[in-house]
Amino acid sequence: MEPELLAWFAEHGRDLPWRRTRDPYAVLVSEVMLQQTQVARVVPRYLGWLQRWPTVESLAASSTAEVIRVWQGLGYNRRALNLHRAARRIAAEGWPDDLTGLPGVGRYTADAVGRFALELPVLPVDTNVRRVLERSGGEFGPESAHALMDLGATVCLARVPRCNACPLAAGCPSRGRRYDPARRQSRFEGSFRQRRARTLRLVAERPRRLSRLDGEAVEALRSDALVEIRGTSVRLTES
């Protein structure tokens, strides 16, 4: 199956900016941004981020407040804090042998940086890759990582796979199957997540009086170290 997959990828693989670099910092930025965020939204934000902070040292030297401001719109803002903390640790101590020791870096992200930046012989397994592996029953090496990701993202879809366009279809035991929809995430509109996002956006513009903000949202943001309360004022964390 692997030769067919790699031949398909050579023709249909996505041209994404983070695939044109072997800089572990740039790859880490892309992987953190891609957590729970669609590729199309990430591309311009990734490019803008690296233009502003082209090195791990430049990000480490920035304030937490500025990092949060620049992250606005990507959601799940704790990712920004973790990326900033990771940058500060790397700038101070160098890249660790085990990347899972960095804030916000789990097994998949560590393997992705290891494979795509450091060329380690590991296969990063995200949701798309796992889907292809489970459905096809095939065995694939680390060199197939990007191809598996693209196949899962564009052909071997979660509910209705495009088997007629799949290079693995001839030998796939799951060919022609359809799947029940996964449990959907709760709606953002009217949710507490929306209240948090709105409150953070207001505070990112300028410090605000606590009495004029959503108190529950402020407390949740403070617990996540995204904002701090000084007297009667709420502002972004400055450290």
- Interstrand relation of 227-230 and 233-236 (parallel, antiparallel or unpaired): antiparallel
Is 11 a residue of the active site? no
- Long-range own/partner contacts, residues 5-12 (CB < 8 A, 24 or more apart): 5/138, 5/140, 5/144, 5/147, 5/148, 5/151, 5/167, 5/168, 6/143, 6/144, 6/147, 7/167, 8/147, 8/151, 8/167, 9/144, 9/146, 9/147, 9/150, 9/151, 12/150, 12/154
- The enclosing H or E element of 154 equals helix 145-154
Q: Determine which one of 2, 4, 11, 31 is catalytic.
A: 31
Neighbours of 157 (CB within 10 A): 15
Token pair for 141 = 């090496």
| CA proximity to 17, closest of 26, 28, 6, 5 | 26
DSSP string, 20-44: G---HHHHHHHHHHHTTS-HHHHHH
Residue 233's φ and ψ, nearest 5 degrees, are: -110, 145
Token pair for 43 = 């591309």
Active site residues: 31
